[in-house]
């Protein structure tokens, strides 16, 4: 069973960071509890994983501009959610959603959109990338502050083989990881960035959260769809 279906998440063996370093980070909150991550892509749109939105969105909020996951910053209701038309909640193919807040994000030092790649961009194997998010750490503790973990992109064909018994790896996915480091339950929807450019969205992986690789929605592959829906 992939960990994307098992609830709240963690960054494994990462380091503390601040929202000013990653000002596009959002916490998706269900009944005020952190549920998933997301990223700001413009003043009026955010982006996350499709499987994060299985609950009643009227009970979900977006928290922006805070290093602390369940306090501070600015909180928004969600006014619109658009799933990819080919999103499959079983296979997690096309695992992407774009979301509109109830009012525009007030841009400032701690609230900024992330850059997006060109249409069809393919992150090369070996590219250093960073995942950021909130949730349980390797000791299953609940740190309140934003965490980051440094990873590397790997060849999708490698992940296709090692995850063959979990889920099929499709064209909408990319893989990244590092030894004894990674993402896990509830980091779903969080951004995977190269510098200030988002290349992936945390999607799914092995139940062992220290497994060296995990799967991400490929933002370059989804770039045209994102523009068609949001104009971004």
Active-site choice (27, 39, 42, 95)? 95
180 part of the active site: no
In the set 4, 48, 172, 188, the catalytic residue is: 188
Q: Which H or E element spans position 47?
A: strand 45-48
Residue 173 CB-density burial (10 A; 0-12 exposed, 13-18 middle, 19+ buried): buried
Pairing type for strands 45-48 and 97-101 reads antiparallel
Q: Cα–Cα distance between 33 and 90 in angstroms, integer?
A: 25
Q: Alpha-carbon distance 77 to 103, whole Å?
A: 8
Does residue 197 contact residue 203 with C-beta atoms inside 8 Å? no
Q: Does the CA dihedral 200-202-203-208 come out positive or negative? A: positive
d(CA 72, CA 69): 8
Q: Please indicate whether residue 84 is annotated as part of the active site.
A: no
51 given a catalytic annotation: yes
Pick the catalytic residue from 27, 34, 48, 51. Answer: 51
Catalytic residue IDs: 51, 95, 188
């Amino acid at each position: 069973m992939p960990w994307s279906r098992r609830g709240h998440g963690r960054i494994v063996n990462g380091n503390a960071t601040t929202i000013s370093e990653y000002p596009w980070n959002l916490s998706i909150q269900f009944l005020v509890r952190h549920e998933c991550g997301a990223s700001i892509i413009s003043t009026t749109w955010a982006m996350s994983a499709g499987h994060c939105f299985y609950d009643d969105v009227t009970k979900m909020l977006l928290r922006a501009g805070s290093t602390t996951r369940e306090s501070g910053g600015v909180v928004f209701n969600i006014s619109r959610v658009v799933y990819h038309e080919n999103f499959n909640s079983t296979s997690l193919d096309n695992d992407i959603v774009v979301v509109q807040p109830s009012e525009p994000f007030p841009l400032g030092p701690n609230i900024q959109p992330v850059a997006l790649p060109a249409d069809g961009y393919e992150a090369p194997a070996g590219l250093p990338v960073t995942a950021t998010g909130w949730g349980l750490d390797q000791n299953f503790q609940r740190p309140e502050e934003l965490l980051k973990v440094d990873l590397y992109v790997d060849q999708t064909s490698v992940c296709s083989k090692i995850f063959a018994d979990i889920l099929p790896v499709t064209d909408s996915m990319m893989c990244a990881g590092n030894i004894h480091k990674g993402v896990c339950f509830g980091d779903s929807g969080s951004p995977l960035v190269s510098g200030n450019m988002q290349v992936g969205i945390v999607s799914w992986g092995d139940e062992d959260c220290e497994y060296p690789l995990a799967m991400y929605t490929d933002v370059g592959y989804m770039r045209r769809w994102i523009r068609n829906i949001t104009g971004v």
